[in-house]
Structure 1
Amino acid sequence: MITITTSLLSRPTAPGSNEIAVYARINLRSATERFKPIEISTRLKCEKKLWDQKAGRFKGKNPKTQSYNNRLTQFEADIIAAFNSCNGSGEFDLEDFKRIIGCKGAKAQKEFSISELFSECTKKKGNELGIKRHGRYDLVQIRFLDSLKTGNSGRNIKPQEITREDFLRFKNYLQAKNLSGNTIIGHLKILKAVFREAFNSKIIKEFPFNDCSTAYVKSQRQFLTYEELSRIESLPDLGLTPRQQLVRDLFIFQSYTGVAISDLTELQTDHLHTSLHGTMLVKNKCKTKEFFRAPLSEVPTRIIEKYKEQAKPKNRLFWVPCIKDYNRDLQIIRHLAKIEKPLISHIARHTMACMYLQGGGSIYTLASILGHSNVRTTQIYGKLQDHGMLSEARQVFKNLSNRDAEIIPINRLLKGGQDGSARQANTR
């Protein structure tokens, strides 16, 4: 709620002058609180005898007086419009209102850079993000600023100048880096979250990305066949650098155990559990904290023995390169093994899931090996549902083919039906 009353100051504007400044007194009340009255100059002056105190207007009907009164009416309308714009979201910002109407003593609004916008957003979200997400916000900030420099000839852009075109330019920039579809969508979602937070905090007046879609694309999961994995296993050490040899062996280890790259880096000797039935890896997953239990067959056991004496952090089973170097070396291995599918570390996990089910393993046991709390999560790996359906159908048809009863061909069945109909007609 807002009420505006215009009145004269109690004293003339200058000694020896009969004119007195006209001021507006603004009383404000929002939905939650009442504010102290604000006084602001209308930039008009009037002699006391020409002022109508009750109406809050100039006396008289001459053109000059009417012009002054029209200016006062417009002045009040502008103040009401400013109040409505500041009160539109339901939370009234007094300082913002003072800045709009040009009130003296209003705090100047801080000019944020885009880097400060990201910092402000991560500060507000705090522990909700976690260390990994904080790093992702920093990466999006670096890449977004780089895309802005490319598209604006190096000129520094302010947050309020960002438009939908900058969003699309950033999307094209990410696509040019050959990032996966969902990685690009993740970057765009973070960008929208930062600017949404800036809009909610009234750092920017308009949210620039209203019409920009950031829906995740359902990706088709890739996996290697046993023949393709055998090609990687048979790659000779000759022609590979020591790190590429290590990456080849680690990828094979993942393909036989289903261990994710994040867990592979943290595997220790304490995670090896030996019993009468053999050895298995038992560990909490880094991502979900769920237990996984991966039995070790001959191939992964041999790889552990191979790198037993390698220099590595204390108690670790392997020294694992960073994910960027790991996947870069996998591209070289993919080329040497003549594999056409894209090769990244996580494909080893899909490969293990497919091979396990193709060998007749239970999907529930596989869920325990991979560390999934829900079997439905396991079913998405490598079209596992299709494999289960085909196996079951194959068994059903096999059982049908072993029956003692004669299976009548369809043409004989139809012919017999026609003959039977004819016999019935003759009988009648």
Structure 2
Amino acid sequence: MAMKKTTFAVNFFLKKSKLLTNGEAPICMRITVNGKRAEVQIKRSIEIEKWNSSKGCAIGKDKKHQEINLYLDTVRNKVFQIHRQMEADGKPITADTIKNIYYGGHETPKMLIETFNEHNLEYRELMNKEYAEGTVLRYERTVRYLKEYLREQYHTEDIPLKSIDYEFISKFEHFIKTNKGCAQNATIKYLKNLKKITRTALIKKWISEDPFAEIRFKQTKANRDFLNETELRLILCKDIEVERLQTVRDIFIFCCLTGLSFTDVKNLKEEHLVQDNDGNWWIRKTREKTDNMCDIPLLDIPKLILDKYKSNPICTERGVLLPVPTNQRMNGYLKEIADICNIKKNLSTHIARHTFASIAISNQVSIESVARMLGHTDIRTTKIYAKIMNSTIGHEMQVMKNKFALPIQQ
């Protein structure tokens, strides 16, 4: 990827709101890098009427004002020299970094990825002693996402901790949701990991302000709805003539019988299909969301669905196995399918994944196997589905319980 050229400017202005006792205004320098500013007081002042605002220099040919202009040139040249040296060294350039170096000579600011990696190394050393493996992996995944975000948004490999602000965090949140396909609750986990690093930086006085001060985490209630086998067969066997609905129905059924999420089925390719020594086909793919490996036996119906779309022009063009539309369209069409099949549940792409887990558990597939197929690192996540099934059994047994209830003894 070609590196995007950094925009850089140096301007001088007066701080008219903070006049000195002699009536003069302090002269300040504004450093701007990629639209972000940092201001520096340069220990010089001048009469307001002797300042040219448009040119950012002193007016007049007397010795005092000539010396001020000469000093401004010296300061500007020093800042440009710092900028050139950082470019030559391939270091990430921000207005705050240049300001810090201007003030402190060659002081190197604490960097985000560098600090995060140090934190993660400590956690990995204590894995399975103080911290669960899933926690360690999530912190490491957060760094990977941050690196991708920095490359895409800032065209750099690292950034000073002082440069993290509300805008940085908001855009990172958007990046996780759109590029990584994470829902609200999963996104919050990654943001909390980042917040832990900034809180440490605040305690150690590497930064002076909390970038998360105005940010409130809002978790959504987890949707654990799923289809039972009767409802699944109803959708599977329904005669649907509209081609777009038929395609969405096929993709939904495929996910219900493989456990793949929307993002994973959208990116499913030929390379993810493998055959074992007994001739059985498997889906072997890392999850887009977590990079965890999924090993899923390919049942007959999902295999027939793949065969059906083998020559589909959309699949050929994209190099994928199924012509998956956008998530928004999928969910919209699924609501139409629910109406056609007279299913009252709010069908969505994520219900397919829940359906797979729930039906697998109800058919005596072990929790460990379901976790492996879903790509869960922590088996506690998978156990949620077992709890759902237990509550369903209890509800369904209520009729039988009533039939065989003992008469109340007077």
TM-score normalised by structure 2 residue count: 0.47
